[in-house]
Structure 1
Amino acid sequence: MDRQDRLQNFEALFWQLSRDVEHLWKDIYAKTFPGSQSRIMYLLEQSGPMKMSELANSLHITAGAVTTASNILIENGYISRLRNEEDRRVVHLDLTEKGSRILHELQNEGRAMMKLVFTDITDADLQTMTTIYQQAIANIEHLQKRNQ
């Protein structure tokens, strides 16, 4: 098998693994946060308080979809509305303590699942994979800078 064939084989395996792992994580989150609710929770965790319009733009969904999903999250105590002190018309959404705790529990469940997925990989292979991924990320960043 030549390098081109190995790269094509790797690409197919990479995409299959990516899809399978994404589905496993989605299944974990969907039990508690179905649909766009999980994406809203994730963004608020990563970015901190955000306006609904910012969430809609980041998630590429309508403001109405954000409102519907966020109302459910608010009713269940996972997020809250924060009024801007300078402009009371501006409303931000933020995680509550309960929302942060639930996200942490789901992340732990996901990490446990990942340990099972990669249970047969040796420490040496894990280190090699980590090095490979770091190099690939660096290559992507270099390409992005070049294309700016």
Structure 2
Amino acid sequence: MDRKESLRNFEVLFWQLSRKVEYLWKDIYAKTFPGSQSRIMYLLEQNGPLKMSELANSLHITAGAVTTASNILIENGYISRLRNEQDRRVVHLDLTDKGSKILKELQNEGREMMNLVFDDISETELETIQKVYKEATINIDKLQKRDQ
């Protein structure tokens, strides 16, 4: 098999695996946080407090959709509204302790699932996969810098 054919086969397998793993993770999160709620929780965990408009822009949804989803998260105690002391009109959303705790539980469930998915892969193979992904990430970063 030549390199072109190997890369094409890899591409097919990569996309199949990526989609399947994404669906597994989505299923884990969707049980607790359906729809936009899971993405809001993820962004708040990754970035800290964010304004509604920042969430809407990042998620490519309307401010109204963010409001609807965030109201449910607030009612359930997963996030809270924080008012800006300098400008009371500005409202940030942030995770509560309860929200952080449930995210950690979901992440642990996801990690257990990933352990099952990759259970048959040896330590050496796992190290090779990590090396390949790291090198590919570096190459993507180089391409993005070149295009700027």
Query: Do they fold alike, i.e. is TM over 0.5?
Result: yes
SS where residue 40 of structure 1 aligns?
A: helix
The one-letter code of the counterpart of 1:77 is: G
> What is the DSSP-based 3-state SS (H/G/I as helix, E as strand, rest coil) of the residue aligned with 1:89?
coil
The share of aligned pairs that are identical, in percent, is 78
Aligned to 1:123: 123
In structure 2, C-alpha distance between the alignment counterparts of 1:145 and 1:6, rounded to whole Å: 27
- Deviation of 1:85 after TM superposition, in Å, equals 0.3
Q: Matched residues in 2 for 1:114 and 1:16: separation?
A: 15
Tell me, in whole angstroms, the C-alpha distance in 2 between the residues paired with 1:70 and 1:59.
Answer: 13
Report whether the alignment pairs 1:53 with 2:79. no
1:138 aligns with 138
Structure 2, unpaired ranges of 5+:
none
The SS at the match of 2:112 is helix
Aligned-CA RMSD value: 0.3
Gaps of 5+ in 1: none
Shift of 1:112: 0.3
Shift of 1:2: 1.0
TM-score (norm 1): 1.00
Deviations 1:16-48 (A, max 9, x none): 000000000000000000000000000000000
Q: TM-score, normalized by length of structure 2?
A: 1.00
- AA matched with 1:91: V
Q: CA offset at residue 86 of structure 1? A: 0.3
* 1:88 aligned onto 2:88: yes
What code does the residue aligned with 1:88 have?
A: R
Distance 2:128 2:46 in 1: 28
Counterpart secondary structure, 1:77: coil
Distance 1:51 1:2 in 2: 51
Match of 1:110 in 2: 110
Match of 1:20 in 2: 20
